[in-house]
Structure 1
Amino acid sequence: MGKDNQDIVIVGGGIGGLTLALALHARNIPCRVYEAAAEFQPLGVGINMLPHAIRVLSGLGLGDALKAYGVEAREFAYFNRHGQLIFSEPCGRFAGYPDPHFSIHRADLHKVIYEAVVDRMGAERVSLGNCCIGVDQEPGSATAQFDNGNAATGPIVIACDGFHSAVRRQYYPDEGDPHFGGINMWRGVTRREPFLTGASVTRVGTVQRGKMVIYPIRQFNDGTQLINWNTEQPRDDHKPNDWAAPGRIEDFIEPFADWRFHWLNIPALFKDAEFILEYPMVDRDPVDRWVWGRIALMGDAAHPMYPRGGNGGAQAILDAECLARLLSDTEAPEAALKAYEAERLEITNRVVLTNRAQPPDFIIEKVEDLTNGEPFDRIEDVIDHADLAAISDRYKEVAKYSLPEP
């Protein structure tokens, strides 16, 4: 698409939508972002940005800013519920990738991308307070309608309006409520001294008996860090409207009450948290179509998935890079949208299903089964290291961030 085209309409100013705006701008393709929120507020907790996503963001000139805000991860470490190390492996540049793996507060990541959009494109290119309620199209253009009576028309509309996408609902009106995985999550952040390497992405335990994911997301000048933590437990009481509700320690601490490991005191981590949020573990079944003429779904609107393996935000960023690249290579936007769907749909659908059935912490579940949940003397007597590495490698291959062959 050339410079003389109308502005592409991007519905949603989250990580995916703003990354798409930057990627289009870098290719001299004009666009505007329409965001439902009246103002951007710091939301969420930690997020892992895998090397394939960092490659895209660094290519957009954001590498230094991400390094200033986040923590460059050194390793993935897997422990059983007794605090015993099962398996560890380097990650990011420490594993030989050309790009780092950053753990960062979602609000910081969003701020970095948003400020780049405003600096390069102008604040007027992001229009707040416009909640999309539907889309339509005619030959040569597509239009997004907003709940305030406004509308935005462009050559194409890209729906980056998130998990509860109104555009997805328009094309899949019978989809119903999200798929609940029978698991609730409690997430929080705690400022404390570094643990393990000071840059470890750590998974502990299994969902059945209590599971945690723990990693640092911000470094302070006094040597302390902001530690992101996430717990998962089976539940049958999910309600469709439960989303980021305030959480209470007493609702989830029982399986973790004696998790005082030599490398980290888990009850203290909960007690000292700045806040606690409760989320349901939800996704949606994969669909076989994202594109209808001049309208396309992207990011969570296209492939909402369990927040496992650092893939929610990463896959949205990869969508953005793919879509911008294809749009820059053609004067036929409808053909570019179909090419984007062909390149990205099957990959992300596999990630959605793998996150349900065999996420990265399947390593821990495997050892839990082999040991009946009891402590072990030597992990080598339980399972071969190569078998554990193979489980990890399979997930990387599905998510398309395995190292290329030398």
Structure 2
Amino acid sequence: MSKARLRIAVIGAGIGGLAAAVALSRADCDVTVFEQAGGLREVGAGLHLGSNGARILHRWGLGSRLNSVGVRAAALEVRHWQNGRVLTQQTMGATWEKRFGSPYYTVHRADLHRILAEQLGGARLRLGSRLIGLNEEEDSVRLRFADGDSAQADVVVGADGVNSVVRGNVTQSGAKVFSGNSAFRGLVPADSIPDLPTKTLLIWPGPEAKLLLCPVSGGSAWAFVAVVPDSGRHPESWSATGRVEEVAAALAGWNVDVDGILGAITEVGCWPLFDREPLSRWSNGRVTLLGDAAHPMLPHHGQGASQAIEDAVALAHCLTRPEGPQQRDLPGDSSPLTEGLLRYEALRRPHTARVQLGSRDGGTMRLSTASPPDSVAGQGQAPLGQMVEDVSWIQAYDVEEALGKPVDADGPASGF
């Protein structure tokens, strides 16, 4: 009986899709990534790569590349929105790395995207391929594209974002939930605000808005995010532009450092903050979901990229380890494939649901100007250190260690 490598179609070439392609290629799968855009590029500004995501990329041999473009955050500072005084500080850097076993990076989204694209290896990339439909056949899935082309795969991975087309082939649940906020984001040159401490994450919680600043691009630029109340007037889009005047109005009357940031902004993106209720299922037959297609989350834990990278590792493991097929029989029984996808879902769905729901009111959203100077808002006015403790379990999580433990394909009792 002839043997062939497992054919995987990954829909979407964002960070999650590229991470999936890298992980699956490393597991000797035959991977094709289908991207609707005509060019391979990633929009956006800065992102946080937690220790849990960074440990995977280091194991893939990408530590030197991350060190060249990312910044290992040395500290987190919370400052008063009006007078700029440092209210409290949390040490990160080597202390964080020792505690969680891997560095914590802030990195330009495009830089991380480029690093992953360089690692595709034998995976193929097809640009200008907008998926319009899927049909599962007896031993494969047929994909149909807007240009009239088609393709076949043994497994389809929907990594096509919060507005996933693939998700409709898996489940109809998971209505969008608007947070009531939008995020204005962009970049400013580091030399335009030279008085701010390098390698430091800065947060100014104001009466309504919050401003976050982190170094990216090897420290040559700052990425900013201003989270402001929004009645829903901005269209939902990952790449929509905003007006600098809106950011300036939201932060009017703040301190001199914030004025310096505002003066350096030349363009800004606007990102209405939506997520979805955790899905009851990720997989249907030979089709599964990954990253934002499976668990779109608000940015307040800084975990979007890291959770997608963890998904990629788990998916590759569950499809190619001894308990799942590394090669497909021609012809053969496809049940091990669907079982592998169920194992993947059983491991990842409860974990990402916890992160997803915690991101709604955790992390930086707990910071409030009404709190005492060394505290954040929340029950008992928990100090900043407690806010870090809230996410320590995420940073310490090792998906490869978790994969070494038996996982019930029906999923553990999680309430999700």
With structure 1 as the length reference, what TM-score do the two structures score? 0.85
Is residue 215 from structure 1 mapped to residue 207 from structure 2 by the alignment?
A: no
Q: 1:341 to 1:85 in 2, by over 3 A?
A: same
SS in 2 for 1:327: helix
Q: Where does residue 311 of structure 1 map in the other structure? A: 303
Q: Where does residue 64 of structure 1 map in the other structure? A: 64
Of residues 389, 396, 399 in structure 2, which corresponds to 1:393? 389
**Identity of paired residues, percent?**
28
Q: Where does residue 337 of structure 2 map in the other structure? A: 333
Q: 1:195 to 1:47 in 2, by over 3 A?
A: farther
Q: Where does residue 258 of structure 1 map in the other structure? A: 253
Deviation at 1:179, TM superposition (A): 1.7
Deviation at 1:107, TM superposition (A): 0.7
Q: Where does residue 231 of structure 2 map in the other structure? A: 236
Q: Where does residue 185 of structure 2 map in the other structure? A: 187
Q: How many residues align?
A: 378
Contact 1:11 1:17 in 2 (8 A): yes
Letter in 1 for 2:239: A
Q: 1:188 to 1:283 in 2, by over 3 A?
A: same
Deviation at 1:244, TM superposition (A): 3.0
> 1:19-98 residue pairs with structure 2 within 5 A?
19-82=19-82, 83-91=84-92, 93-95=94-96, 96=98, 97-98=100-101
Contact 1:78 1:361 in 2 (8 A): no
Between 1:294-303 and 1:92-101, the stretch displaced more is 92-101
Instruction: Provide the rounded CA distance (Å) in 2 between the counterparts of 1:70 and 1:326.
Output: 30
Unaligned runs of 5+ in 1: none
Contact 1:35 1:126 in 2 (8 A): yes
Q: Where does residue 113 of structure 1 map in the other structure? A: 116
Instruction: Provide the rounded CA distance (Å) in 1 between the counterparts of 2:70 and 2:62.
Output: 12
Instruction: Provide the rounded CA distance (Å) in 2 between the counterparts of 1:195 and 1:292.
Output: 53
Pairwise CA RMSD: 2.6
Letter in 1 for 2:254: W
Is residue 249 from structure 1 mapped to residue 244 from structure 2 by the alignment?
A: yes
Deviation at 1:258, TM superposition (A): 3.1
Q: Where does residue 165 of structure 2 map in the other structure? A: 166
Contact 1:93 1:99 in 2 (8 A): no
Contact 2:50 2:302 in 1 (8 A): yes
Instruction: Provide the rounded CA distance (Å) in 2 between the counterparts of 1:341 and 1:57.
Output: 22
Q: Where does residue 4 of structure 2 map in the other structure? A: 4
Deviation at 1:42, TM superposition (A): 4.3
Q: Where does residue 414 of structure 2 map in the other structure? A: none
Is residue 276 from structure 1 mapped to residue 287 from structure 2 by the alignment?
A: no
Q: Where does residue 133 of structure 2 map in the other structure? A: 134
Deviation at 1:130, TM superposition (A): 0.7
Residues 26-67 of structure 1 show CA distances to partners (whole Å, capped at 9, x for unaligned) of: 122221111111111341111111111011112222221111
Instruction: Provide the rounded CA distance (Å) in 1 between the counterparts of 2:295 and 2:380.
Output: 35
Q: Where does residue 146 of structure 2 map in the other structure? A: 147
Deviation at 1:4, TM superposition (A): 2.4
Deviation at 1:384, TM superposition (A): 9.8
Of residues 356, 360, 366 in structure 2, which corresponds to 1:356? 360
SS in 1 for 2:38: coil
Q: 1:387 to 1:69 in 2, by over 3 A?
A: closer
Contact 2:143 2:152 in 1 (8 A): yes
Contact 2:71 2:217 in 1 (8 A): yes
Contact 1:93 1:101 in 2 (8 A): no
Instruction: Provide the rounded CA distance (Å) in 1 between the counterparts of 2:28 and 2:199.
Output: 37
Q: 1:269 to 1:387 in 2, by over 3 A?
A: closer
SS in 1 for 2:157: strand
Deviation at 1:173, TM superposition (A): 4.3
Instruction: Provide the rounded CA distance (Å) in 2 between the counterparts of 1:318 and 1:379.
Output: 32
Between 1:164-173 and 1:50-59, the stretch displaced more is 164-173
Is residue 289 from structure 1 mapped to residue 288 from structure 2 by the alignment?
A: no
Instruction: Provide the rounded CA distance (Å) in 2 between the counterparts of 1:25 and 1:74.
Output: 34
Letter in 2 for 1:292: N
Instruction: Provide the rounded CA distance (Å) in 2 between the counterparts of 1:139 and 1:169.
Output: 20
Q: 1:66 to 1:180 in 2, by over 3 A?
A: same
Contact 2:243 2:267 in 1 (8 A): no
Residues 107-166 of structure 1 show CA distances to partners (whole Å, capped at 9, x for unaligned) of: 11111110221xx226xx111111112222123212322211222211111111111100
Deviation at 1:394, TM superposition (A): 1.6
Instruction: Provide the rounded CA distance (Å) in 2 between the counterparts of 1:346 and 1:42.
Output: 29
